[in-house]
Amino acid sequence: MTGEFVIDIRNLTKRFGELVAVDHVALKVRRGEVFGFLGPNGSGKTTTIRMICGLLTPDEGEGTCLGYDVLTQSAEIQRRIGYMTQKFSLYEDLSIQENLLFIARMYQMKDPAALVEDTLDRLALTARRRQLAGNLSGGWKQRLALGACMLHEPDLLLLDEPTAGVDPKARRDFWDQIHLLATSGITVLVSTHYMDEAERCHRLAYLANGRLLATGTGPELIEQSGLATWRLAGSGVEAVSDQLKAMPGVETVTAFGTRLHISGADHAALEKTIASLRGRADLTMEQVQPGLEDVFIHFLSDAKEAA
């Protein structure tokens, strides 16, 4: 393998009939990085991941994954990546052990039995080895799926919304695992909807309507957005929420419990609007650092306007 980038794709494009699912996307992912892939449903995250691992043939573009050409060497790539699909994709009618053995054999691992034994041990699933995979709870299924795609010791993990429908405790454990893997040198590309998960990534890419809107670390994305955010609190919050949306400089108004986040890229106009509310006794206001969520909602509304 060559170069510092584990994934290096340029102009990757995929069309399904009229629809451009992925539109000239370029990504560079460094070794040992946990790279977060964000965007609303249907933004092209899954399609991009599928093109990287050779499940879909790109209509345009080029690139490498682990030093192999994504267009011509998908067999080599598949041998060295672990792919966790969005839907649980182990065999529900096979037991935990049978599933793992099957995968170990597919990758022609030496001594599959011992390898599976180790994995069961690591996942704390030894006692439940004979249970059918379909009978596991969401959190355990996801643990098993991660264990399964790590079985052949891949250099790169592609995880497509791995924590959808998993409880917060299991999600946290899952992310601890991912960081552990990253420190051992494995690169992880993970798509997600959750902001707390986005914050745990080294770098992020934001995709909407098949276009890559921004890439960088969390703070870099906030910086790039050029967004200013004000936080309003107090008992008058609900009353002003609707009227704020129509006021100059306001792009988004988001309620966080009893607080409102008001964001906009036009700092001066936003400040004027906020100033007009000053003096109301039932409101307090302060300028805050925009959160990733504010930034993503901003990206999204920008993308909608463009479309």
Partner 1 sequence: MARPRFSLTRLAGMIRKEFIQLQRDRLTFAMLIGIPMMQLILFGYAINADPKYLPAAIVQADDSEFSRSYLQALENTGYFNFIARVERREEVEHMFTAGEVLFVITIPEDFSRSLVRGERPAILLEVDATDPIAIGPAIAAVQTVTPAALNRDMEGVLQDLKAQPGPIDLRIHRRYNPENITQYNTVPGLIGVILTLTLVMVTAIALARERERGTLEYLYSMPLLPVEVMIGKITPFIVGAYIQVTIVLIAARVLFHVPILGSLWLLSLALILFIIVNLAIGFTLSTIVKTQLQASQMATFFFLPSILLSGFVFPFKGMPVWAQFIGEALPLTHFLRIVRGIMLKDAAAADIWPHIWPLMVILLVVSTVALKRYRATLD
Instruction: Report the alpha-carbon distance of residue 188 to residue 34 in Å, rounded.
Output: 5
Report how far residue 208's alpha carbon sits from residue 218's, in angstroms, rounded to the nearest whole number: 17
Cα 46-49-52 angle, rounded to 5 deg: 150
57 near partner 1, judged by CB under 8 A: yes
Taking the complex as a whole, how short is the minimal distance between the CB of residue 159 and partner 1, in angstroms? Answer: 12
The shares of helix, strand and coil residues in the chain, as percent rounded to the nearest 5, are: 40, 30, 30
Quickly count: other Cβ atoms within 10 Å of residue 193's Cβ.
Answer: 15
Decide if 48 contacts 25 (C-beta within 8 A). yes
Does residue 108 touch partner 1 according to CB under 8 A?
A: yes
By the rule CB under 8 A, 89 interacts with partner 1:
yes
Is residue 55 part of the contact set for partner 1 (CB under 8 A)? yes
Q: Which stretch binds partner 1 (CB under 8 A): 89-97, 165-173, 191-199, 291-299?
A: 89-97
129 binds partner 1 (CB under 8 A): no
- Selected from 2, 4, 41, 93, the binder of partner 1 by CB under 8 A is 93
Q: Which is nearer to partner 1, 73 or 284 (CB)?
A: 73
Provide the terminal-to-terminal Cα distance of the chain, rounded to the nearest Å: 40
Stretch 218-257: interaction string toward partner 1, x if CB under 8 A: ----------------------------------------
Q: Which of residues 58-87 bind partner 1 (CB under 8 A)?
A: 72-73, 75-76, 78-79, 81, 83, 85, 87
3-state secondary structure of 83: strand
Instruction: Find the binder of partner 1 among 19, 106, 268, 306 (CB under 8 A).
Output: 106
Between strands 211-216 and 203-208, the pairing is antiparallel
Alpha-carbon span 274 to 19, nearest angstrom: 41
| Part in contact with partner 1 (CB under 8 A); list of ranges 37-45, 88-96, 175-183, 227-235 | 88-96
| Both structure tokens of 193 | 């909807």
Structural tokens at position 29: 């992912």
Which three-class secondary structure state does DSSP give residue 156? strand
Name 295's Cβ contacts closer than 8 Å, sequence gap at least 6.
221, 222, 225, 227
**How far apart, in whole angstroms, are the C-alpha atoms of residue 285 and residue 241?**
13
The minimum distance between CB 136 and partner 1, in angstroms, equals 15
Among 6, 7, 22, 53, contact with partner 1 (rule: CB under 8 A) = 53
DSSP H or E segment with residue 16: strand 5-16
For residue 169, give both structure tokens. Answer: 């405790």
Q: Number of residues in contact with partner 1, rule: CB under 8 A?
A: 32
Residue 90 Cβ, how far from partner 1 at the closest point, in Å? 7
Q: Using the rule CB under 8 A, which residue among 11, 105, 255, 282 binds partner 1?
A: 105
Q: Does 154 contact partner 1 by CB under 8 A? A: no
- Cβ nearer to partner 1, comparing 155 with 266: 155
Closer by beta carbon to partner 1, 142 or else 215:
142
- CB of 75 or CB of 307, closer to partner 1: 75
User: Which stretches of the chain bind partner 1, using CB under 8 A?
Assistant: 50, 53-57, 72-73, 75-76, 78-79, 81, 83, 85, 87-94, 98, 101-108
